[in-house]
Amino acid sequence: MRGVIQYGVRDIRVEDRPDPRILTPGDAVVRVVAACVCGSDLWGYRGLRDPGPPHPIGHELIGIVEQVGDAVTVVKPGDFVISPFSFSDGSCQACRHGMTSACDHVAYFGSNDPDGLPVDGAQGERTRIPMAESTLVPVPGPIDDALIPGLLTLSDVMSTGHHAAVSGGVGPDTTVVVVGDGAVGLCAVLAAARLGAPRIIAMSRHADRQQLALAFGATDIVEERGDEGVAAVKALLGGELADVALEAVGTAESMRQALGSVRGGGRIGYVGVPAGGPKLPVGYLFDRNITVGGGMAPARTYIPELLPDVLAGRIDPGRVFDLQIPLEEAAEGYAAMDERRAIKALLWP
Amino acid sequence: MRGVIQYGVRDIRVEDRPDPRILTPGDAVVRVVAACVCGSDLWGYRGLRDPGPPHPIGHELIGIVEQVGDAVTVVKPGDFVISPFSFSDGSCQACRHGMTSACDHVAYFGSNDPDGLPVDGAQGERTRIPMAESTLVPVPGPIDDALIPGLLTLSDVMSTGHHAAVSGGVGPDTTVVVVGDGAVGLCAVLAAARLGAPRIIAMSRHADRQQLALAFGATDIVEERGDEGVAAVKALLGGELADVALEAVGTAESMRQALGSVRGGGRIGYVGVPAGGPKLPVGYLFDRNITVGGGMAPARTYIPELLPDVLAGRIDPGRVFDLQIPLEEAAEGYAAMDERRAIKALLWP
């Protein structure tokens, strides 16, 4: 099969790889229908994080089950499935509380499963899914092709945007500032609107992203950053600050922006992978009584909750894919996102 | 009048001071019935924080209103009142959301009010209370003397323990670890029990505090600290971690203990004044999806909520006062708490 390998900084190649097969009774092998490039893939691509030795990459996919191990009962060959970006056992304490991303046996694409066996990247034609019974979510067919981008976002970005909103306690009584206009930030806007937030201020400097934020339910756009950004938020809110800020970048600067945007007793829902930041100034949190929650999204828990809204067309998070290209052109997907020519790139195997 | 002055590290004196008087229409002058020494007063006493120039000290009191300014309507001379440890305007955004401790005009005992006028310490015979209309809480009389210690705790420690529990999301479905066996930690135990927590593990090495923790509703005591403390928690919870940890110390070590004690997706409610810590390791919070909330308690908001339980004897937080001495002996109160001979010292003017 063909699969994407990250060789190093700005070095993405598509290569022949061995076809995956069932290695444990809990496995499934899935043929990938659509995969995509994540903003977090760009940290290593840009060299902001050590990309390490060459490795298969990608952690978002939807696909068709081809084979299952003897212990797998919830899906069967031919089923259309969404895979969350992390694998979880479904039985540990964190999983039983729905926090599948903090599973005791959490495992990831492009790494090893709890048995030490390698797992392929999601950016490929096929992949083995360990702990398939407690990881994969089947989607009742037939699947309208137009829904594929939206279903694919449930694997990560839409679930992650939703996690920001849930962690921030967004609801019908909360004003919201969203810091970050990448695919996750835009999905956080959509999630906040879905949860009924009456006022959603998206911080964005890019016209195309501003438009999508407005389409997703943002009521206001703020282009300024730093203290000027906070002042602009205040101007929009009649001199007050937001109840909640959703942080979807992962830098010290973006966390500072989020912290400065919320009132005393407010909340931060953060989902930006902390790369080189963010720092949490405890004295400020203490004095302002700001609650900080979030982290890696428990996508496995959220997919069944969000799926009906995608299938029914009530939300269309697939609009974050403004570039759709063949898997063979994966390198262009990375480059386009790196250069901000694309919000998010969908890869067709 | 007589009032307590901190002159420097381990230098507490009781001196003659000018009687306070009404300086603005929003003021009240209160005759102190009982005051006390706070664990946070010890940071400066021990020199762990610069005590600064000589200043009046103390921030917890109950008393009788003697005079009110023209703008004060909620209390009148003769009323028995509880003062929260911070003064708030009751009208800013944070106050309207109940977070009075993050008030835009927050002011403190022993410092200046928003008009720049000095405020006495609570450890004295009388004090001026600025923003009295939105700060003082009247208590319907007559007041049983036996209730005085309990009522006094609402000024700070019981409200603060309650804030830890509320910030940690404690309820009937949560197992709780309480880090810190000072008066606030013990009140956090009591607050967690009041909110219905079925399992409350108090971390304490002192026999007298262990006994009070058990009397307040702790179901278990853990004497170990660090990794051994976490292992002991796990042993008590059948190999699992707590849903919530309440941090009531304010050091990096105690925050680490709290963070290590909760499951993935768990919560920290923290109220320990961060002195030299705690540091928040964002990568760990992110990977474990731990929510951190808390800070300075909005005592003004909590007093009316907790007051009926104290008046009816349903909770007896006044038991944290294991030393009751005349105001003139304030220095001994500090020394006894510093040397851990007392949990908390009540001062009778």
A17 with A28, same domain: the answer is yes
Taking only the tens place, the pLDDT of each residue in A89-115 is: 999 999 999 999 999 999 999 999 999
For the segment B59-81, the average pLDDT, to the nearest whole number, is 98
Task: Label residues B23-54 b or e (16+ Cβ within 10 Å = b).
Answer: bbebbbbbbbbbbbbbbbbbbbbeeeeebeee
Sole residue written with tokens 């830098």: A251
Q: Which residue of A has its CA nearest to B169?
A: A291
The answer to whether the CB atoms of B264 and A101 lie below 8 A apart is: yes
- CA–CA distance from B240 to each of A300, B231, B248 (Å)? 22, 9, 22
pLDDT digits (tens, 9 = 90+) for B245-259: 999 998 888 999 999
Instruction: Name which of A174, A255, A289, A292 to mutate to probe chain B: the one with the most chain B Cβ atoms within 10 A of its Cβ.
Output: A289
CB-CB under 8 Å, B298 with A265: yes
Mean pLDDT of B253-277: 89
A236 and A266 inside one domain: yes
Average pLDDT, chain B: 96
Q: Are residues B235 and B305 in the same domain?
A: no
CA-closest candidate to residue A219, choices A195, A208, A203: A203
Contact A289 B102 (CB under 8 A): yes
Largest CA distance in chain A: 61
B198 plus B321 within the same structural domain? no
- A:B CB pairs within 8 Å: 122
Of B273, B293, B298, the CB nearest to A291: B293
On whether any CB of chain A is under 8 Å from the CB of B217, the answer is: no
| Residue B140: Cβ within 10 Å count | 9
ipTM: 0.93
pLDDT of residue A277: 55
User: Where is the domain boundary, A252, A276, A294?
Assistant: A294
Task: Decide which of B274, B294, B314 is a domain's last residue.
Answer: B294
State if pTM tops 0.90: yes
A chain contacts of residue B279, beta-carbon cutoff 8 Å: 282
C-alpha distance from A49 to closest chain B C-alpha (Å) = 14
Chosen for mutation from B86, B93, B162, B301 (greatest number of chain A CBs closer than 10 Å) is B93
- B40 three-state secondary structure: coil
DSSP, res A70: T
Given a contact cutoff of 8 angstroms between Cβ atoms, the answer to whether B178 and B193 are in contact is no
The pLDDT score that the predictor gives to residue B32 is 98
Last residue of a domain, one of B248, B278, B294: B294
Q: Which of B199, B286, B290, B296 is best to mutate for the A interface (most A CBs within 10 A)? A: B286
> For residue A237, how many C-alpha atoms fall within 13 Å in the half-sphere facing its CB?
25
Q: Which residue of chain B is at minimal alpha-carbon distance from A274?
A: B283
Which residues of chain B make contact with A278, given a CB cutoff of 8 A?
282
CB contact A54 to B (< 8 Å): no
Average pLDDT of chain A?
96
The reply to whether residue B283 touches residue A274, judged by beta carbons under 8 angstroms, is yes
Whether residue A152 sits in one domain with residue A13: yes
Regarding beta strands B242-247 and B175-179, do their DSSP bridges make them parallel or antiparallel, or are they unpaired?
Answer: parallel
User: Does the CB of B102 have a partner CB in chain A at under 8 Å?
Assistant: yes
Residue A246 DSSP label: E
| Per-residue model confidence (pLDDT) at position A251 | 86
B263 CB near a chain A CB, below 8 Å?
yes
Cis peptide before B278 (omega within 30 of 0): yes
- What H or E segment, with its residue span, contains residue A23? none
H or E stretch at A137: strand A137-139
B193 touches chain A (CB under 8 A): no
* Inter-chain touch A99–B285, beta carbons under 8 Å: no
A269–chain B Cβ distance below 8 A for any pair: no
What is the three-class DSSP state of B302? helix
Which positions in chain B touch A86 (Cβ < 8 Å)? none
Same domain, B226 and B322: no
Cα–Cα dist A35/A58, whole Å: 8
The verdict on A139 and A16 lying in the same domain is yes
- Give residue-wise pLDDT tens across range B178-194: 999 999 999 999 999 99
Interface membership of B278 toward A (CB under 8 Å): yes
Q: Which chain B residues touch A43 with a CB distance below 8 Å?
A: none
Interchain contact A260–B (C-beta under 8 A) = no
Whole-number Å distance between alpha carbons of A164 and A185: 9
- pLDDT category, A275, cuts 50, 70, 90? low
Which DSSP helix (H) or strand (E) runs through B255?
Answer: helix B252-260
The tokens for B68 are 């009110």
Is A282 close to B280, i.e. CB distance below 8 A? yes
Give yes or no: residues A271 and A307 share one domain.
Answer: no
Neighboring chain B residues of A290 at a CB cutoff of 8 Å: 295
* Whether residues B172 and B288 fall in one domain: yes
What CATH number is attached to the domain comprising A40? 3.90.180.10
pLDDT classification of B278: cutoffs 50, 70, 90: low
Percent residues over pLDDT 70 in chain B:
99
Angle of helix B252-260 relative to helix B226-236, nearest 10 degrees, comes to: 30
Q: Could B264 and A94 be called an inter-chain contact, meaning their C-beta atoms sit closer than 8 Å?
A: yes
| B 288-307 near A (Cβ less than 8 A) | 288-296, 298
Of A241, A287, A295, the CB nearest to B287: A295
Work out the number of other CB atoms within 10 angstroms of the CB of residue A21: 11
Structure tokens belonging to residue B247: 């941090």
User: CB distance from B103 to chain A under 8 Å?
Assistant: yes
Query: A53 exposed, middle or buried (CB, 10 Å; 0-12, 13-18, 19+)?
Result: exposed
pLDDT at B109: 97
B275 pLDDT more than 80: no
Residues A92 and A186 in one domain: no
Is residue B175 domain-shared with residue B284, that is, in the same domain?
Answer: yes
Question: Which of A117, A55, A67 is closest to A87 using CA atoms?
Answer: A117
Q: Hey, is the C-beta of B241 within 8 angstroms of any chain A C-beta?
A: yes
| C-alpha to C-alpha distance for A298 and A212, rounded to whole angstroms | 25
The per-residue pLDDT for A252 is 85
Q: Nearest CA to CA, how far is B242 from chain A (Å)?
A: 10
Range of the domain at A269: 158-294
CB B20 within 8 A of CB B11: no
Chain A interface includes B63 (CB < 8 A): no
CATH code for the domain of A285: 3.40.50.720
On the question of pLDDT at A186 being above 80, the answer is: yes
* Closest residue of chain B to A103, computed from CA coordinates: B264
Question: Is the CB of A290 less than 8 angstroms away from the CB of B295?
Answer: yes
**CB-nearest partner of A94 from B102, B263, B278:** B263
- Give yes or no for A228 touching B (CB within 8 A): no
A217 and A284 part of one domain: yes
As for how many domains chain B has, the answer is: 2
pLDDT digits (tens, 9 = 90+) for B295-343: 999 999 999 999 999 999 999 999 999 999 999 999 999 999 999 999 9
3-state secondary structure B95-128: HHCCCHHHCCCCEECCCECCCCCECCCCCECEEE
